[in-house]
Amino acid sequence: MLVAVHPEQPSAPLVEALLSAGARPVPVADAAAIADQEPEEGWAALVVELADDSTAALSLARRVRADGGAPVLLVATRAQTATLPMEACDDFLLSPIDPGELALRLRRLHALAGDEPAQDVIRFKDLELNLATYQARLGGTPIDLTYMEYELLRFFASHPARAWSREQLLSRVWGYDYFGGARTVDVHVRRLRAKLGETRASWITTVRSVGYRFG
């Protein structure tokens, strides 16, 4: 799977995550390079990593997406999502990068382009999380989750049976640049348990002196 990557010198974590996802990253400087280097089978995606000055990168993303050159995946920090122009991308990924999530989003973009079947639903018992629409269903009934409640539940459901410390959850779900304390995790766990309901609240187990385990 050939993936165009901008800028020409992407971060090491992005390159490592792409390689672990089975992708072959090809650095590109601009739209002309994307067209000139396009493989016969077409690009699987254009991954654009936003830097501090993201104007040029977003301009490139908009142009490629408008021209239909490739599905566009933006890699942004949590702070950048507040002003992220969604018309510039087909999907986005928060940094620091979770390699498993990157692989999932690339497969989704590949599927949207008609190249392979979609694998965008996580299921645990009667819980369904649709990663394409950010919808959650419990026993077939939609449940109303905030963005971070959804992200925490998605992470739990993707890693059942393993115990995670509050610090690990803050790092993996909220990101390394989040400065909130461990109480943030406790608050979101409490809200998730309430929304899961009395019979399913036990899916999230408190592990004494450690943190939480799902399943």
Question: Looking at the structure, do residues 104 and 176 belong to the same domain, yes or no?
Answer: no
Please write the tens of the pLDDT for every residue from 193-203. 999 999 999 99
**pLDDT reported for residue 180:** 64
CA 124 to CA 176: how far, in whole Å?
Answer: 27
Sequence-separated (6 or more) residues with CB below 8 Å from residue 106: 1, 3, 21, 23, 44, 45, 73
Kindly report the CATH number assigned to the domain that includes residue 40: 3.40.50.2300
Based on C-alpha coordinates, what's the Rg of the chain?
18
Domain boundary among 112, 138, 164: 112
Domain that holds residue 150: 121-214
Please write the tens of the pLDDT for every residue from 127-186. 999 887 778 999 999 999 988 899 899 999 988 899 999 988 888 887 655 566 778 899
Give 82 or 122, the one with higher predicted confidence.
122
Cβ–Cβ contacts within 10 Å for residue 198, how many? 8
Q: What is the DSSP letter of 168?
A: H
CA 103 to CA 22: how far, in whole Å?
Answer: 8
**pLDDT reported for residue 113:** 60
Question: Looking at the structure, do residues 108 and 6 belong to the same domain, yes or no?
Answer: yes
**pLDDT reported for residue 87:** 81
Give 111 or 71, the one with higher predicted confidence.
71
Domain boundary among 82, 112, 142: 112
Question: Looking at the structure, do residues 41 and 86 belong to the same domain, yes or no?
Answer: yes
**pLDDT reported for residue 179:** 60
